[in-house]
Amino acid sequence: MLDMKLFRDNSEIIRRDHERRGISQEPINEVIRLDNEWKNSLHTMEASRRKRNIAAKEIAEAKKQGDQEKVNVILSQVKDLGLEIEQLDARAKELLLQRDNLRMSIPNILHDDVPSGDDEQGNTMKMLSGEKTDFSFLPKTHNELIESNQWVDLERGAKVTGSRFFFLKGDLARMELALQQFSIDHLTSRGFTLVQPPVMMNREAYEGVTDLSDFETVMYGVEPDKLYMIATSEHPLTAMFKDEVIEPSKLPIMMVGVSPCFRREVGAHGLSDRGIWRVHQFTKVEQIIICHPDDSWNHHEVLLENCRSLWDALDIHYQIVNICTGDMGTVAAKKYDLEAWLPGANAYKEIVSCSNCTDYQANRLKVRYRTPEGNAPVHTLNSTAVATSRALVAIIEQNQLEDGRVKIPEVLRSYMHGQEILEPCQW
């Protein structure tokens, strides 16, 4: 959510941003209109409250002096004031609610470096790392590999839970844990603190970190407790500091979160989503930084560098893309994706997303830091380190052998007792 001051004093900044995104400016006008109306109605109400406060003081004074007659006179004057305030207050609250519901739908201000474009076609390539493996055979897709090795059981997942849920088995399940452990070690050695968050959140905290429409399309709800399964550990780890004022000396807060992630994936279908590329539950190791606004663009590059070194260590060929205006969501001001080369699919596909959300989440959550001039919102950043299901896809496609088995990346071998090859599961 954008700061209301931006609408009042510098609305041209928001307008210019909407122009770049190619979206209607009408909601901006409406927010400003509702704000003015709210301020007016607030003033009227405050005037009435002031009357009441003055009367209350006069009554207290008169009682102290034992002047019961004066008390009665004042009482008769303010008889209807209570009802009046109540009505004015209700009106003001309604206007404020309308204003902020609309304000929440207005996206963050994009960074100047964000390229223009209508959709993912407009994303620009920032860098390339590694090379495509030169296979002496026709590389298989990941779903062929997980099936022939019996590493993933989607059918029984569907039986027990539903489609796109799965059992992960044998050596691939062991490598999944190795991947988690390796990426956590990689980040804790760079100053990040490991945090395991709750995997369910209440509605109020969740509204602080996500787009409202996500409640319909992304998150699972848990009835009757009115909780939501987290779609990523970014959500609890950012909401963790809701309503808090953080001492500047405590910044930056750098966390590596690990948790299962749950996504409804409403509307996602198609051949390219077969296998475990797009599933309802996966584990993710995530980087989170909460920092001073002056530092966030540096930290954004640090997050990307951490991903690059991690995926370089795994010896995966990938490209980094700078996400364009049309492909950007509501909360990020700038976003990089890391796309791994999938030889089976013959395409680069997203395995990491690295965003600077600037003060957009902090405003809604009221996460601030102390300054001599008052409290100001912090900046929040997040980046995938490893989303295990997609990481497994990239690794097994790039490291597959002609016999269908898979070479284990060297950095993971020490986490698997020196094992070098993923063997098929026997059932």
Partner RNA sequence: GCGGAGAUCGCAUAGUCUGGUAUUGCGCCGGCCUUGAAAGCCGGUGGUGUAAGCCUCGGGAGUUCGAAUCUCUCUCUCCGCGCCA
3-class secondary-structure state, position 194 = strand
Q: Does 18 bind RNA (CB under 7 A)?
A: no
In 30-133, DSSP assigns E strands to 124-129
**Exposure of 20 by Cβ count < 10 A (0-12 exposed, 13-18 middle, 19+ buried)?**
middle
Q: How far is the CB of 196 from RNA (least distance, A)?
A: 13
Q: How far is the CB of 239 from RNA (least distance, A)?
A: 15
Q: Does 372 bind RNA (CB under 7 A)?
A: yes
Q: Does 205 bind RNA (CB under 7 A)?
A: no
Q: Does 40 bind RNA (CB under 7 A)?
A: no
Cα–Cα distance measured from residue 82 to residue 49, given in angstroms and rounded to the nearest whole number:
9
Cα–Cα distance measured from residue 147 to residue 183, given in angstroms and rounded to the nearest whole number:
26
Q: Does 33 bind RNA (CB under 7 A)?
A: no
Cα–Cα distance measured from residue 151 to residue 163, given in angstroms and rounded to the nearest whole number:
17
Tokens of 77: 């004057």
Q: With contacts defined by CB under 7 A, how many residues of the chain interact with RNA?
A: 26
Contacting RNA (CB under 7 A), which of 23, 32, 81, 104?
81
Q: Does 226 bind RNA (CB under 7 A)?
A: no
Contacting RNA (CB under 7 A), which of 82, 191, 221, 260?
82
CB 33 within 8 A of CB 9: no
User: What mask, x for binding RNA by CB under 7 A, covers residues 398 to 417?
Assistant: --------------------
User: What mask, x for binding RNA by CB under 7 A, covers residues 236 to 275?
Assistant: ---------x------------------------------
* Interface stretch with RNA, choices 55-63, 108-116, 155-163, 309-317 (CB under 7 A): 55-63
From residue 206, give the alpha-carbon distance in Å to each of 4, 216, 322, 415: 21, 13, 27, 35
User: What mask, x for binding RNA by CB under 7 A, covers residues 102 to 131?
Assistant: ------------------------------
Q: Does 43 bind RNA (CB under 7 A)?
A: yes
Cα–Cα distance measured from residue 230 to residue 209, given in angstroms and rounded to the nearest whole number:
11
Nearer to RNA, 81 or 199 (CB): 81
Pick from 424, 166, 141: nearest CA to 282: 166
Cα–Cα distance measured from residue 350 to residue 328, given in angstroms and rounded to the nearest whole number:
14
Contacting RNA (CB under 7 A), which of 190, 370, 407, 413?
370
CA 365, distance to chain mean position in Å, is 13
Nearer to RNA, 76 or 189 (CB): 76
Q: Does 59 bind RNA (CB under 7 A)?
A: yes
From residue 322, give the alpha-carbon distance in Å to each of 70, 126, 186, 261, 312: 73, 6, 24, 25, 19
Contacts (CB under 7 A) with RNA, residues 285-344: none
> Which residues would be at the binding site for RNA (CB under 7 A)?
4-5, 43, 46-47, 49-50, 52-57, 59-60, 63, 75, 78-79, 81-82, 245, 370, 372, 374-375
